[in-house]
Amino acid sequence: MENSVNVIPILKARYIGKPLLHSLTKNSFTGSVVGIYQDFCNILGNDGRMITIAISPMGKSPFSVLIEWQDSFMSIVAKMNVQADQYGIKVGDVIFINLGNAETWVPKMPQFPRTFRLKAPSAELLFDYTHWLEPTFYNSSNKYVRDKLMSGAKELQHALVNRHPIKRAVTYLAGLGSGLTPSGDDYLLGVMASLWLTKNTHFLDEIAWLSSQKTTSLSAAYLMAASKGDFAECWHDLAQAVLYQDPKALRDSISEFIQIGASSGRDALVGFSRHILESRFSLNVVQN
């Protein structure tokens, strides 16, 4: 009788987030698939680490691996066991992703120089995204979430500007809403991006720790990464557009950013824009 051997398809990773590669080099990973979507799947480790396998050209993130589309990706199902190290990721018995030749992507977002001054045209563009739009909330439950977001955002803003304790405001916003990354977390992520860019990093660790206790594993991974200055590629694009202060480039970047998720981009942009414009940090709006 002949022995039949199942050959696992081998896929080549194009990119891997530097923090993820460092983590896999330091400690091997064991976990399972917790979510499957059209262009990506999420894998949660037994130790709480997160890996996102995404189909190119999806944007890169601190804990993502980007691959080219292959039919075998469709073989991944929820709860499949996953093992990984710096050499590769084995998903069940259906796929192996070779990390050997993957380009390492650095998610550390460059910070604005102390001399940066926000020009009026840029400020005006960002100001248009300092509030939530009423038409996006069609039912009573969404209106309830929106009202809570507005209340929590106001309290957090006041606490940050005046250097008051932020625990109550952060825990109020954390996990608020539904989805993979709830609206409250997206707002917090936007605030964290503005804090990082303007070198006001004092509250980052506390925001990340408090919020990660109350939210989804994916959202917690983004928030914890942000506390170290590590952000997804879409944030790098937005920050660069703000720094260059080319109105057309910023307008285009904002248009792309708000398309992220059902409302994630919009919620995050509210946090980002509101915090930069209202607290100003070392930023002063100039007229030209």
Quick one: pLDDT at residue 141?
A: 65
**pLDDT at 64 > cutoff 50:** yes
3-class state of residue 168 by DSSP: helix
Over residues 254-276, the pLDDT tens digits come to 999 999 988 999 999 999 999 99
What is the torsional sign of CA 218, 183, 127, 258?
positive
11 exposure class (CB count in 10 Å sphere: 0-12, 13-18, 19+)? buried
Q: In the 8-state DSSP scheme, what is residue 106?
A: -
Quick one: pLDDT at residue 116?
A: 87
Mean pLDDT on 4-21: 88
Quick one: pLDDT at residue 87?
A: 98
Q: Binning pLDDT at 50, 70 and 90, where does residue 175 land?
A: very high
Over residues 70-87, the pLDDT tens digits come to 888 889 999 999 999 999
Q: What is the C-alpha separation between 251 and 122, in angstroms, rounded?
A: 9
Percent of the chain whose pLDDT exceeds 70? 92
**pLDDT at 197 > cutoff 80:** yes
**pLDDT at 288 > cutoff 60:** no
Distance, first Cα to last Cα, the chain: 81
Mean pLDDT on 199-217: 96
- The encoded tokens of residue 209 equal 């720790």
Q: Binning pLDDT at 50, 70 and 90, where does residue 280 land?
A: low
Q: What is the C-alpha separation between 198 and 94, in angstroms, rounded?
A: 45
3-class state of residue 6 by DSSP: coil
Residue partners of 109: CB distance under 8 A and separation at least 6: 193, 196, 197, 229, 230, 231, 235, 236, 239
Quick one: pLDDT at residue 114?
A: 84
Residue 129 half-sphere exposure toward CB, CA atoms < 13 A: 26
Domain residue extents for the chain: 10-105, 120-279
